Structure 1
Amino acid sequence: MSWQPEMDELRRRQEMTKQMGGADKVKRQHDAGRLTVRERIDRLVDAGSFREIGSVAGKAEYDGRNDLVHLMPANSVMGRARIDGRPVAVTGDDFTVRGGSADATIKEKAIYIERYANQYRVPLIRMIEGSGGGGSVKTIETTGRANVPGVSGWEWVVRNMGAVPTVGLGLGSVAGLGAARLAATHYSVMVKEISAMFVAGPPVVNRLGPRQFDKQDLGGWEIQLRAGAIDEAADSEDEAFALTRRFLSYLPSSVYDVPARGPRTDDPARREESLFQAIPRETRKVYRIRPIVEKIVDQGSLFEMGRLYGRSVMTAFARIDGWPVAVMASDPMFYGGGWTADTCQKVSRFLDMAETFHLPVVYFCDCPGFLIGLEAEKTGVIRQGVRAMSAMFQTTVPWCTFIIRNAFGVAGAAHQNGSRLNWRYAWPSGRWGSLPLEGGIEAAYRADLDAAPDRSAKMAEIEDRLNKLRSPFRSAETFWIEEIIDPRDTRQILCEFVELAAPLRTPGPSQHGMRP
């Protein structure tokens, strides 16, 4: 006698769970312009690679003879799959079952997939839509008690930040613990117009005051991207999936490996003539940094994160002769490249990620110092700046810096880990010091200026004298800057750097565990 009856019963139950919350709930999801969780998984992973775990977990109804009448699935779908041939762990909230709230959650499923990613050392993708926490107020009535707040399994979320690449996709309304799960990632994406993220949604917030919010007013993508709560906003769910695949392509599967070299599609000896005049001679004139970086890295490889947050520094992944690297670049379009408090937070987190996943760092430095003034002081810029510089000094990954214009003050000093030997170059446009001359001459030479018959002429004379003394050549004479290069040689030098740096990357956990 075979086990066919049991297999038939298993298939029957699996067919029930694949109906999710029912045809009406699926239609509502589609009418709102959103995919279902199963459609999302199919579009994200390699075709035919998804192997579901917990396929018949849910809330069952039985008749008087203990025969199954209906099986409502748990509101999460998870399992293992492949993305571009690489094993991954995937979990997604099912909004068609009680809106993704905890009432319909089997928390052990969420914990299982976190443990699986951690212990089998594979990237984890969370597709989040719902609260995922204490559920609705109705939970009190259904359970007969109020929950004491607690987050079962959060220790695995924390461990995964220091162990495997973790991606969060906010694909609808995300609140409470769902928002925490989205933020506790290395890379997070919302979808414009259909996604919103908040600690508490409009029904709760609108009870607190006269102003009334809708979802986008309170937690739309622009708010969260500018606040640094998420890293990117996509125009569609399919674009969010494409961004996920691209993000993972720069990273190893876990900290126990190093990032793999990609295709070598660009000439290491390529020289871009436009770099020779990319930095204006007039020091007050700004320029666009992204076209400069794009001309140096492998063509088409620049992958920026957090563009609207901490905007005086650009952070991105890229490839140099196929090797993945972490890129920082000052952006003088914002505060002249000066470091604000949010810029410092952005730098700290980015360097922690580079250290965690063994990515060499390339920094194009044009930093006139920390932002100054009352508003800057109110943000605690010096505390955040010290954290960023400390994160820099804790890195062990290979590092290459190009001072392309300014490096002044404490923030200017934070252009490499000064306790280690690193590659450092200056472009002819490089200028540095304790503070810019333009801000210090008045104070340092006040007596001379006051005594001069022609104050403007005296100021010009002092400026000319000091500018000659601060020439990068004077620093190179005493080896305070190791080498001054032709900007057009930058790519070739970087290609040499990554080749020599590759064998120095050391697999294993970072001694400083990364936090969100």
Structure 2
Amino acid sequence: MSPKDDVSKAEPQKSQEQVLDDELSWEYPVARLRALQKQIRTPNPKNPGYIRQIANNKLWVHKRIATLLDEGSFEEIGLISGKPSENGSPDGFTPANCVMGWGKIRDRKVFVTADDFSVRGGHADGGIQGKAAYGETLARRGRVPLIRLLDGSSGGGSVATYLSIGATYIPGLAGLGQCMDAMAVVPVASALVGPVVGLAAAKAAISHFTVMVKGLSQLFAAGPPVVRQATFEDLSKEALGGWEIHATNGTVDNVATSEVEAYDQIRTFLSYLPSSIFSLPPVLSSVAAHDTRERREEELIRIIPRRRARPYDVRKLIQLIVDRDDGSESSFFEIGMTWGKNIVTGFARLDGRPVGVLSSDCTANGGAIDALGSQKTTRFVNLCDHFGLPILNLVDQPGFAIGTIAEKMATIRHGAGALAALYHASVPIFTVILRRAFGVAGGAFADPDDGFGKRVAWPSGDWGSLPLEGGIEAAYKRQLDVCKTEEEREQLMTDLLAQFEDVRSPLKTAHKFGIEEIIDPRDTRPMACDWIAHVYEHVLPQVVTLRQARFGWDAKPSSGKGYKL
């Protein structure tokens, strides 16, 4: 008996005219299509995969997308891709485990690809070959941000596939090429909302922003069973690849306490970036209602301690300078707080205009930049440069971390990468020397070679080839070594420091035009706002115009040789 006969049994008896009308129209096929669409979009509480998803405190894939996007904005692509039942009934249909389509976030168009872990745990043999890669290509060509909700292997294989195809196979890129193509043109953000392994782990790394959910997501090249077989380590998913591992080694940028918070972080991250490299970052024209560019914070005049060895809160300092989005909350969105802690990076706004923020944290190893801090700097500066975000560069850099641990971590090699990123950055950089700028690292941060930059210093500025205290120890070693007592040595050090105290004043450097301006710290925000307005009005538009003229519509990277059409 045909599927049509099954349906007709449940329907009222039709007249001869109605039967004739069905044969001449498409009402019946459309009705079956709608029934299938409804079945796919409606969770089945009896489905084992769905039951497992809810039991693990995870949102169902369509609920995830609805939570992320503006209400009612999702336009799915490939909704009925999947495996039909043998008799064609919608009830037995198994949808592909990749859900994707267009949507909006804060009324800006985006593209979303989401894994459905309830179907074969996200493995390729439960999905449709090339669907996710097709979506990434659409995002790039449509020049809109791409968001991935990763849960499972996201296209990775399962050994069960070998039996179904009757052979093994040489693994291909499985869409990673399209992932890298998208990275070159549009912002890519990934939320890890479950165990992420294999291909999905690579996708997470091939993103401009990644966020894990505590206790819900893990990331690894191979899961516990494979690890147990290869290394004899018997580990849980959390012990192998939980957030405490990957949020501290730089594999992921941020951590959230829930799926809802993870999606909120992605929305915030994208709010600072343009839709593609061919457009300007979005400007908030309503910021004047909450803040003013002329705001001068009295607290800035005393935030840097007069005693140079004392720490201060650099995040508070940043918040005093950047916009307050709603009159009280700072616009500063930190990226990578849990790793490379001697460096602080994030996005903010100045007079409504997005800007990258780069600084050091003197409470973490004195602010000295180490291997992870160098990697963090490189990644962030390259991100800002790629999407045309000017950088607010707040410098308090005592130099590279030193000692045996620093040498074993290849600090100089990673540090050279950070220096290169600063040197090659073409976006304008507004540099404010807050306090220290010593050695090679201090020089690179305090004097980046940018396009249209500006540099000023606060009266607390302190710079040189070496920190004065350590430099005196080296320069006057012979005199200090001949001291007969510790008291005599300390007195000589005090006398030498007194001789140098006058020449270390930043005003002496300004007299010789070694620094362009020494400013009142309270003038930092008004000055930065004036600078950023000029950059957005007269510098960045030219950059975008040149990119459009050079790369054309369907820009695509080609083996590191730029873009090809």
- Report the TM range for the smaller structure's normalisation: over 0.9
1:351 is aligned to 2:384: no
1:308 is aligned to 2:317: no
| TM-score in terms of structure 1 length | 0.95
Give the aligned partner of residue 381 of structure 1: 411
Give the aligned partner of residue 490 of structure 2: 456
Give the aligned partner of residue 460 of structure 2: 429
Q: Higher relative contact order at CA 8 Å, sep ≥6: structure 1 or structure 2?
A: 1
1:277 is aligned to 2:302: yes
Identify which of 276, 294, 298 aligns with 2:319.
Answer: 294
What is the rounded CA distance, in whole Å, between the counterparts of 2:210 and 2:525 in structure 1? 30
1:253 is aligned to 2:283: no
Give the aligned partner of residue 61 of structure 1: 85
Give the aligned partner of residue 174 of structure 2: 152
CA shift in 2, pair 1:463/1:343, >3 Å: same
Give the aligned partner of residue 368 of structure 2: 338
1:92 is aligned to 2:114: yes
Is contact 1:124–1:165 with CA below 8 Å preserved after alignment?
Answer: yes
RMSD: 2.1
Is contact 1:168–1:185 with CA below 8 Å preserved after alignment?
Answer: yes
1:228 is aligned to 2:250: yes
1:443 is aligned to 2:474: yes
Classify the secondary structure of the residue corresponding to 1:216: helix
Give the aligned partner of residue 534 of structure 2: 500
Give the aligned partner of residue 81 of structure 1: 103
Encode CA deviations 1:444-483: one digit per residue, 9 max, x unaligned.
1123334567433222121111221121011100111111
Post-superposition offset of 1:20: 6.6
Encode CA deviations 1:274-302: one digit per residue, 9 max, x unaligned.
11111112222111111111111112200
| Gaps in structure 2 of 5+ consecutive residues | 1-23, 325-329, 561-565
Give the aligned partner of residue 186 of structure 2: 164
What is the rounded CA distance, in whole Å, between the counterparts of 1:179 and 1:229 in structure 2? 10
Identify which of 5, 9, 21 aligns with 2:32.
Answer: 9
Alignment coverage as a number of residue pairs: 513
AA partner of residue 423 (structure 1): K
Larger radius of gyration: 2
AA partner of residue 212 (structure 2): M
Identify which of 218, 237, 241 aligns with 1:219.
Answer: 241
Is contact 1:134–1:147 with CA below 8 Å preserved after alignment?
Answer: no
AA partner of residue 364 (structure 2): F
Post-superposition offset of 1:210: 5.0
CA shift in 2, pair 1:493/1:76, >3 Å: same
Encode CA deviations 1:235-279: one digit per residue, 9 max, x unaligned.
111111111111111011111001021132212121211111111
Post-superposition offset of 1:67: 7.9
Q: Percent identity over the alignment?
A: 43
Is contact 2:155–2:174 with CA below 8 Å preserved after alignment?
Answer: no
Is contact 1:344–1:384 with CA below 8 Å preserved after alignment?
Answer: yes
What is the rounded CA distance, in whole Å, between the counterparts of 2:530 and 2:153 in structure 1? 49
What is the rounded CA distance, in whole Å, between the counterparts of 1:494 and 1:130 in structure 2? 45
| TM-score in terms of structure 2 length | 0.87
AA partner of residue 364 (structure 1): L
Give the aligned partner of residue 60 of structure 2: 36
Is contact 2:95–2:127 with CA below 8 Å preserved after alignment?
Answer: no
What is the rounded CA distance, in whole Å, between the counterparts of 2:357 and 2:80 in structure 1? 45
Structure 1 runs, 4 residues or longer, greater than 6 Å off: 66-69, 509-515
Identify which of 152, 155, 161 aligns with 1:139.
Answer: 161
Classify the secondary structure of the residue corresponding to 2:501: helix
What is the rounded CA distance, in whole Å, between the counterparts of 1:367 and 1:259 in structure 2? 29
CA shift in 2, pair 1:201/1:500, >3 Å: same
Post-superposition offset of 1:100: 0.6
Post-superposition offset of 1:373: 0.9
Encode CA deviations 1:206-259: one digit per residue, 9 max, x unaligned.
234454211111111121110111111111111111111111110111110010
